[in-house]
Structure 1
């Protein structure tokens, strides 16, 4: 039997708490003792609740108490309502206290060298009691550690390979071709992707999301660059480009300020990638983690 929808109800939270306690014990005396009220008060409150709803919630035969069919349905709704309110109240109370705890963040190299420093400084200044731990990791390891919960938050590039994760986009950035000042392309400001056919390049390893993205662009325009080297970190790429007549496709954010490399805008198509916060699905996150994510989103 459906529970009627009530409007302008006088029902209060205490009615739901009293009903839940009675449903747990099925005894007015024991329930009243647990609630630190008299038995007559509890009986009156339950009767008031039934009158408000317009249905009998419990049957009374002497000292024997049982939930009616409507009472069983109402108990499930009352439980969700009370637990929801209690959880909200706990969260609100935590806002009044200084944030504490331990937060472990995993980020790819590009973020750790150009962006995370400023985020960490802002966060530590605002929440000095939180212990922050930053790990610079490949994207795949970030995803693995998010799944096993040894990381709280990941910062990497989409798409994620794991169905256990969801991403919250931060920004989209273009990838550029970088060369040294002696490279044949060093006088160019723009370059079409097809012009990279048979050109020597050093690229990230195939396990990286950015490399898979670039391979997709190469397939799209039907070209095959000559990949002379692959690496899982940016520093060897920068060194090779500085010393040899080869190019690399990387984010501008990954180029050290002192590298003195030539940057060329790629087009037709322009390769882009999306940076994102990575989260594990169906995991409860602390207020500390949510505050860090908020700070990143407000300052990227």
Structure 2
């Protein structure tokens, strides 16, 4: 498989027309068709369905598109760095992130990026996912760090890694000594959760329905840190991303199962916008940190200083 195969594939996936795609990559339609067939033979399954003059992605093609696009971005970022030949980046990078990522992920990215690019100005705003999407469309943000948007018409979503949600309780909570908790066991438990406007809350409500649990939502808060703070002081429990809470003596972190709530964070971009070098460089830092998290695997939730028994299954 060669780089041109990926470029032709991604271009055809964006145009869904051999004529327009061939014009964009400056080859004949027959050459483009031949290169796509070569790629399909190598991967062992069709990536496009040809219906008359129409072209649509197969399920395999949809899956492969995210990986191919990510690979091309990595190559383009690398070439951009080499072509600058040591020139310092300048300009501004405007980032929108949901609260979960501002706890540790975004600060780690910023530290890595600013150490290498001290002349770039970076602004970070903590926003709800819907607001991030709208700000990207309005071009008042360059990149978002959130979850997949409900309407991807104007936004491109690049998955980064998979994360589990965990239950957080005070050490005196009745569930505090458990090694793991089934979702159905949260029936009638008093919780503090994000408001219904958040995509994470929607996903959790679906998990409750699937398990038959009907918890009592005693409080709603729109930021993670105060939610953890009230849990540490009361008998309320909460559910947050495994990366949103660090081990501390006044809370216990418990894995959830049957089902395990899972989210896939990623980067959000406005479609068909050419990003300046500083933004592409920051995106490369995000990918590098996300890859490190993915390779490290899902860390074991901890209760205070003592680690809990590791999970037997990791999400794919």
TM range (shorter): 0.5 to 0.7
Once the two structures are superposed, residues 120-172 of structure 1 have per-residue CA deviations (whole angstroms, 9 ceiling, x without a partner) of 11111111221111111121211111110100000012344452112111111
Q: What SS class does the counterpart of residue 291 from structure 1 fall into?
A: helix
The one of 90, 96, 101 equivalent to 1:111 is 101
Once the two structures are superposed, residues 271-300 of structure 1 have per-residue CA deviations (whole angstroms, 9 ceiling, x without a partner) of 110110111111121121111111111122
Counterpart in the other structure of 2:220: 230
Say whether 1:240 aligns with 2:234. Answer: no
Deviates most, 155-164 or 272-281:
155-164
Q: How many residues align?
A: 217
Contact 1:170 1:297 (8 Å CA) reproduced: yes
The one of 257, 260, 264 equivalent to 1:270 is 260
Cα separation, 2, equivalents of 1:158 and 1:257: 28
The one of 161, 171, 193 equivalent to 1:181 is 171
Say whether 1:285 aligns with 2:279. Answer: no
Q: What SS class does the counterpart of residue 171 from structure 1 fall into?
A: coil
Contact 2:133 2:149 (8 Å CA) reproduced: no
Cα separation, 2, equivalents of 1:157 and 1:177: 20
Cα separation, 1, equivalents of 2:107 and 2:115: 12
Counterpart in the other structure of 2:199: 209
Equivalent residue runs for 1:3-152 within 5 Å: 95-96=84-85, 97-152=87-142
Contact 2:161 2:265 (8 Å CA) reproduced: yes
Counterpart in the other structure of 2:243: 253
Deviation (angstroms), 1:235:
2.6
Contact 1:177 1:265 (8 Å CA) reproduced: yes
Deviation (angstroms), 1:201:
0.8
**Large movers: runs of 4+ above 6 Å:** 91-94
Once the two structures are superposed, residues 226-264 of structure 1 have per-residue CA deviations (whole angstroms, 9 ceiling, x without a partner) of 111111111331122112111100013222554621111
Counterpart in the other structure of 1:220: 210
With over 3 angstroms needed to count, the CA separation of the structure-2 counterparts of 1:240 and 1:92, relative to structure 1, is: closer
Contact 1:156 1:277 (8 Å CA) reproduced: yes
Once the two structures are superposed, residues 69-96 of structure 1 have per-residue CA deviations (whole angstroms, 9 ceiling, x without a partner) of xxxxxxxx79x79xxxxxx9xx799624
With over 3 angstroms needed to count, the CA separation of the structure-2 counterparts of 1:148 and 1:187, relative to structure 1, is: same
Cα separation, 1, equivalents of 2:83 and 2:222: 41
Deviation (angstroms), 1:222:
2.5
Q: Indicate the RMSD between aligned Cα atoms, in angstroms.
A: 2.5
Taking structure 2 as the reference length, what is the TM-score of the superposition?
0.63
Contact 2:192 2:236 (8 Å CA) reproduced: yes
Taking structure 1 as the reference length, what is the TM-score of the superposition?
0.67
Structure with the greater alpha carbon radius of gyration: 1
Contact 2:148 2:157 (8 Å CA) reproduced: yes
Q: What SS class does the counterpart of residue 113 from structure 2 fall into?
A: helix
Once the two structures are superposed, residues 94-118 of structure 1 have per-residue CA deviations (whole angstroms, 9 ceiling, x without a partner) of 6243211111011112211211112
